[in-house]
Structures are given as structure tokens and as C-alpha cells.
Amino acid sequence: MRPPIRSSRRTSAVPLEPLFAVLGAVLLAVAIALPSLAGERTAIEIKRFKFAQESIEVPAGTTVVWSNGDGIEHSVTQGVPGDQGGAFDSGLMTKGRSYEQTFTQPGEYPYFCKRHEFMTGVVKVVRTN
């Protein structure tokens, strides 16, 4: 008969409850924060030589997506005709293409189509609480 094997390692019981409590608190905080971190999305269609919504108001963190539904090229260029602001520019988009811009800072962001300067719009970004 063999003698019992004795381990020289000592094991100490580490209470797992505090660890699980901290982990649970972290996961809850992440779950609460994710919707605000992800932000909202708003779509603007370009059709018949106009932006579907010429003026929109969105909370900071929102991503605006412009989609070209016309058979001709359009752009979404920040600024006003003759004075491009430079904050964003989609370049010329063909039919079916889209461009997105995330607005993180409150303010008014006018935009226009470089090819058809009569096409204008504005995104008004408001502070989130």
C-alpha cells in the first residue's frame, strides 16, 4: 500500500465575493456608459438636388450619414459657398454612396454641395447632459 501523497504547496482560500462584486460594478458601469459612448446616428438623404433635412439638431456625439440618391455626383462640404470651413468634406459622391461625420462639439455646422452651391444645410449640435 502506498503512503498518501502530501503536497508541499499551501493553498489559502481567497474570498471571491469581493472580486465578483468589483467585476460586477465595472460591468454595470460599462453597460451604462456604452450607449452614450456609441452616440446616435441620423440619416440625411440627398435626392432631387436637395438635402432631405436642410436643418437638423442633434446631441453631441451623433454621427450624421448623408446618402446620395441622385444619379449625379454631390458633395457634403462644411462651410458655405465661397468659404469652405474645412472641418469635413465628402468629396464627390456618386449615386448610392454615403458619407458620415461624427459631431463631438456643440455648435452650428453649415454645409453645401460643391457642385451645386444652391444645395445647403446646417447641423446644429447641442450639448448633452
| Mean pLDDT, range 96-100, rounded to an integer | 98
Which residue, 103, 42, 31, 110, is CA-closest to 78? Answer: 110
Average pLDDT over residues 1-12: 59
Q: 8 or 114: which carries more pLDDT confidence?
A: 114
Band (pLDDT 50/70/90 cuts) for residue 123 is very high
Q: What are the backbone dihedrals phi and psi of residue 105, each rounded to the nearest 5 degrees, phi first?
A: -110, 135
Helix (H) / strand (E) element for 30: namely: helix 17-38
Q: Say if residues 44 and 56 touch (Cβ distance below 8 Å).
A: yes
Any residues with CB less than 8 A from the CB of 101 and at least 6 apart, and which? 63, 64, 76, 88
Q: What pLDDT digit, counting tens, does each position of 36-92 carry?
A: 455 899 999 999 999 999 999 999 999 999 999 999 999 999 999 999 988 999 999
> pLDDT tens-digit profile of 12-42?
566 667 655 554 444 444 443 444 455 899 9
Match 458620415 to its residue by C-alpha cell.
100
Q: Does domain 40-126 have CATH number 2.60.40.420?
A: yes
SS3 call for 28: helix
Q: Where exactly are the structural domains of the chain?
A: 40-126
